[in-house]
A and B are shown apart, each in its own frame.
Chain A
Amino acid sequence: MKILTGNDLKSGAVVWWDGQGWSTHITEAVDAGENADSIIATEDAARRVNAAYAIDAEQTEDGPRPAHIKDRVRALGPTIRPDLAVPAADKMGWDWVI
């Protein structure tokens, strides 16, 4: 699947496209399919997201799992600061990241 991620323009928070808007939880990310480019263009122009891009991910029981470790780190937070993990995403645990 293709999911979309970027940062919230004002807060900088990592966000994921949930079909309607941008969620801070990767578990809510949806397959953007063919529409990735047009969603990014529209959302970027409307300043609802900054520096958005599409990534490959795999649908798992826990939700989408990005193909690249960089995006998994983005989804959960720095692996060396579990106290700063993104709430509600941290149930996946650090094994999910590495």
Chain B
Amino acid sequence: MYQYDQYDQAMVDARVEEFRDQCRRRLEGTLTEDQFKPLRLQNGLYLQLHAYMLRVAIPYGTLSGKQMHALADIADKYDRGYGHFTTRQNIQYNWIKLEDCGDILADLAKVEMHAIQTSGNCIRNISSDQYAGAAADELVDPRPYAELLRQWSSFHPEFAHLPRKFKICVIASEKDRAAMRLHDIGINIVKNAEGTLGVAFYVGGGMGRTPMIAPLIREFVPLDQMVTYSEACLRVYNRHGRRDNKYKARIKILVHEMGAEEYTRQVEEEFAHLLEQDIEPPIAELDRIRSYFQPPEFATGLAEKADRSDPDFALWIDRNCSPHKVPGYVSAAISLKPVGGIPGDASAQQMHLMAELAKDYSFDECRVTHAQNIILPHVEVGRLYELWEKLDEAGLGTANLDQVGDIIACPGLDYCSLANARSIPVSQKISERFAANGKGELLGELKLKISGCINACGHHHAGHIGILGVDRKGVENYQLLLGGSEAEDVSLAKITGPGFNEDGIVDAVETVADLYLERREDGERFLDTYRRLGMDTFKEALYG
């Protein structure tokens, strides 16, 4: 894992003092709320429905046991004993006091963490593949590149007041587990024909009210020009991104309205200029960062098969464990989606347990996924059973990764001041329904994603089944979407038709699931059947 040196530490320490000072000036009245708001947002502090909410950055989703313990301690000491893991691989706390913020940031800085740029119109936390460094199919570990971009984008003086927020994702495999093409910039580490590593740039993707899949704008940028190319992409956006309408201010609108070709032309022009400015970090810096991401000392000669005699355990292995690049290891997913639970929430106690399990079973590392689960990346197959027993005892052993119960849900109207409808109760009812009727067992991979408003924090456009909460004359109403995918077969889901009330949407999900069960062909996932049959067949089943 990456470790701060004196410079990184000095930067976060200075930030703590800066934010303390800004809070002080707000409380004294020398900063107005209008002036303070962008400052607090760039430090992850929102004013939400019930209180201040603090979003803490988890760079590329990677946490040590010590850091997870610290997150649990913050939940206990400053919040109400729990936290919420987000679709951006971060964690947020819902009941924060402004006057505690400086102390919280100081506590975070002690474990090399921060809340820098987790909100606001700036470059946000860099996300990545939760199986980085472990996945059998990755080209390289993408995290050193993400870390380099983290440093480049932190306190970037030119890009702190962009037209709108800016999200970057870095992956290094053909399989996309991080919704790479639904980011403002999606970076894929690739090899060219000569076998040299480089970077493919996809620019202008995103969800929100106008979902777009990012087009490829450069197939191959040499590794030692990645930062310069990123800077060029951002500068053209900062120069020309729309500022007249916040709903049209994301880079996806610029790329769309300008045309990917013209945007690319301007980026290339700026890139040529910036190459002369010598802004790229020395390649030795990438080597230095890489040295922190060396594989742990994996054992050899381990058993590659687990004892599957306990059927519940066997099911958990099949559903929650992923292939590892080293024989005898797997990556194990801890589902934060118990039946009827709140997606992504974890109590302080559960966080402490996950921290200990990371230490004991996974070389002191865990990951947060964009689907709001936790991964232990490097677990010996032979120790999986004892791990699973401990998880199960703590309510963390649900075997439902990528199943209908593994629902992504935004906080919705229960917490969020932007939401139009509640997301969590809908997700609870759906997971309970499919657990009770037994159909959940039959459905296989089915990604269900719920947003409580058009901003799409719950990724509803990317769900095999998506649900969008809307406000219909003051009453919560839910639209159903079908056919989305955030993966390498990326697509945007389409709305089926008129919306449903809370119980109606649960029935509607069951209706489309039933249609799939009835009509699926061998090996087809829900998404495949939908793509084969088309929307009309599903509409017919829903609306008759």
Measuring CB to CB, which residues of chain A are less than 8 angstroms from any residue of chain B? 7, 9-14, 44, 47, 50-51, 67-70, 73-74, 77-81, 84
Contacts and interface: CB of A to CB of B under 8 A. Distances in A.
Contact of B51 (A12, A69, A70): A12
Main secondary structure of the interface of B (DSSP, over half): mixed
B51 A80 contact: no
28 contacts: A7-B52, A9-B26, A10-B98, A10-B99, A11-B97, A12-B47, A12-B50, A12-B51, A13-B50, A13-B51, A14-B49, A44-B33, A47-B29, A50-B47, A51-B47, A67-B474, A68-B474, A69-B413, A70-B413, A73-B49, A73-B413, A73-B414, A78-B415, A78-B424, A79-B414, A79-B422, A80-B424, A81-B414
A78 B425 CA distance: 10
Given A50-B33, A68-B474, 6 more contacts: A10-B97, A11-B51, A11-B98, A51-B33, A70-B49, A77-B50
B27 A69 contact: no
Contacts, number: 68
B417 interface: yes
Interface of B: 26-27, 29, 33, 47, 49-52, 80, 94-99, 342, 413-415, 417, 419, 422, 424-425, 428, 474-476
A8 to B, nearest CB: 9
B154 to A, nearest CB: 26
B256 to A, nearest CB: 32
Nearest to A71: B49
Contacts of B50: 12-14, 74, 77-78
B414 A14 contact: no
A70 B428 CA distance: 20
Contacts of A74: 49-50
A91 B450 CA distance: 30
Nearest to A84: B80
A12 B80 contact: no
A45 to B, nearest CB: 8
B95 to A, nearest CB: 8
A9 B24 CA distance: 12
B51 A7 contact: yes
Contacts of A9: 26-27, 98
